[in-house]
Chains A and B, each alone.
Chain A
């Protein structure tokens, strides 16, 4: 029995290691996409645009490992919750990777225009979204419910900044119609960053479920 449990534990740790690897990649790609936009560096943007493959590979591998663990070990309780959480976090991280590509696409379009304004709030949003992702993943590794709850609280800042960016860019667009196209791309970027925050929030909610068996989604606390 003990040997079998150790085998399961090793497999579970390997699964969690892959998730962390994927989370690190996703976080780095968000960082690079925002940096490429802010510094107007096409090479950095292109690296994000054409570099989604490792995340996609991990996405499939993590699902396969999870299904195999469920089928072969029929885990219960904390072990079951860990695998269910892994499957869900996997989907969220893959979406974060896709959103980084979406930001890079917008950046590609944006850099052909003169800058609408100096970008201040977008890098701030990028920093918050990355920090949320990083904290959610740290909470996952350490089983830290308090840290996961902090991630949930950080989401409001992103929502506030997104609204602020929209209002500000609206004034630029009203004053000068030639800024409409690049402004819309910046609004899209803020929307993508806000969505990344939502995915980090999902990860944090899954961590809370995994550790304490509490479902905190949609304001529920069962």
Chain B
């Protein structure tokens, strides 16, 4: 049990990924001794890890291990929960997002988020995607707006299914389509990073496969961080995997290493299902 209390300091720097051409919207994320508290309860302990640009990083671990909490610290989504407190630092492209004076609205535009349960607005498909563009005043003309909506829906692999009914209610879409719509909505404001919190856990296997294919396509343009309970999904979609346990980062390495030869016994026990 000694590995439980030992902070995973030595294993948190992932080996360099194979060099390949990295297109636009590059971003790196670096957490440094990050602690997070819900009131008096400490939910994250000294998390230090660096996330590479244009790779998919998966966070795995049992319920309550802190993986979703950590994900939400990356765009300060926890700020809206009363009584929470952060110590340490999260830098995106070298800039500490917890520094005084950081524009949180702008941060969340650069770091988009997709949630477990798809949450389209009760508006048309078009208006859902256009929403962020309009409130952020990001386009000048209606033709620009239409072009950006189309671009986002294409990126989310939804365009062909909805192009003839853009002005129908988003709530009429299937669960899988609604989730892709939410991804399109997140992509419309051109973030650099996409955070996904169990994006396929409520979907059937076919819809899940579409989301997974989408994640694979999107990593060319975005840095993606995904929280998942489904270890096979983490193994399939991610390049790097971080394993959390009781609010600590136990191991962070290439996904193939985590699932074939993890360094930590605790990781081994978790990925082979011998937990608890």
Point out residues on A near B: beta carbons under 8 Å.
1-2, 4-5, 8, 74-81, 213
Point out residues on B near A: beta carbons under 8 Å.
231-232, 235, 258-262, 267-268, 271-276
Given the interface contacts A213-B260, A213-B261, does A77 sit within 8 Å of B271 by beta carbon?
yes
Q: Are A79 and B272 within 8 A (Cβ)? A: yes
Q: Are A76 and B274 within 8 A (Cβ)? A: no
> Top 8 A-B pairs ranked by shortest CB distance?
A213-B261, A76-B271, A5-B273, A76-B259, A77-B271, A79-B272, A77-B268, A77-B272
Q: Are B261 and A77 within 8 A (Cβ)? A: yes
A81 to B273, CA, bound (A): 15
**For A81, what are the chain B residues with a Cβ–Cβ distance below 8 Å?**
260-261
- A sample of 13 cross-chain residue pairs with beta-carbon separation below 8 angstroms, ordered by A number, consists of A2-B276, A5-B273, A8-B273, A75-B272, A76-B231, A76-B235, A76-B259, A76-B260, A76-B271, A76-B272, A77-B259, A78-B268, A80-B260
**For A5, what are the chain B residues with a Cβ–Cβ distance below 8 Å?**
272-274
Shortest CB–CB separation between residue A217 and chain B, in angstroms? 15
Q: Are A1 and B273 within 8 A (Cβ)? A: yes
Closest to B268 in A: A77
User: Which of A4, A8, A74 is the one whose CB lies under 8 Å from B232?
Assistant: A74
User: Which of A1, A8, A77 is the one whose CB lies under 8 Å from B260?
Assistant: A77
A sample of 15 more A-B contacts (CB under 8 A), given A2-B276, A77-B258, is A1-B276, A5-B274, A8-B273, A74-B232, A75-B272, A76-B231, A76-B259, A76-B260, A76-B272, A77-B262, A77-B267, A77-B271, A77-B272, A80-B259, A213-B260
Closest to B274 in A: A5
